[in-house]
């Protein structure tokens, strides 16, 4: 079976997440990635089952994997799943999500 996300697609998604949603990455890592003390995070990769992040925790780089709720098969699913991850992370952390986080 061919992977649904080619390297160029992953690169485009990473560029968008890190450029437009850098704080969301940190919230996801803090709330869902088991790193509540992360001071920063950047998406570093992904596949059909989850996103990978490189986080800074206590001044050290830490690799973090956050699984999707289901295996993704199409690029268009990534946006909804990233938004769900952000909202779930906010709920876990007890913070209010951005109003436009849909």
CATH number at residue 19: 3.20.180.10
- For residue 63, tell me if it sits in a domain: yes
- For residue 2, tell me if it sits in a domain: no
- Alpha helices per DSSP H over the chain: 7-20, 22-32, 76-93
Q: Which structural domain, as residue segments, surrounds residue 75?
A: 7-91
Q: What pLDDT shows up at residue 2?
A: 53
Neighbours of 46 (CB within 10 A): 23
Report DSSP state, residue 46. Answer: E
- Cα–Cα–Cα angle for 86, 72, 13, nearest 5°? 60
- For residue 62, tell me if it sits in a domain: yes
pLDDT tens by residue, 41-96? 999 999 999 999 999 999 999 999 999 999 999 999 999 999 999 999 999 999 99
Q: What is the domain count for the chain?
A: 1
Which pTM does this prediction carry?
0.92
**What CA–CA distance (Å, rounded) separates 96 from 79?**
19
The residues with which 41 forms a beta bridge, in sequence order, are 55
- For residue 64, tell me if it sits in a domain: yes
- For residue 100, tell me if it sits in a domain: no
Report DSSP state, residue 62. Answer: E
């Amino acid at each position: 079976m061919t992977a649904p996300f080619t390297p160029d697609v992953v690169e485009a998604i990473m560029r968008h997440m890190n450029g437009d949603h850098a704080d969301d990455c940190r919230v996801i890592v803090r709330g869902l990635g088991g790193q509540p003390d992360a001071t920063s995070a950047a998406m570093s990769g992904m596949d059909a089952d989850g996103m990978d992040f490189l986080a800074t925790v206590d001044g050290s780089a830490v690799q973090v994997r956050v699984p999707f709720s289901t295996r993704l098969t199409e690029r268009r699913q990534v946006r909804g799943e990233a938004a769900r991850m952000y909202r779930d992370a906010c709920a876990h952390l007890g913070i209010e999500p951005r109003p436009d986080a849909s």
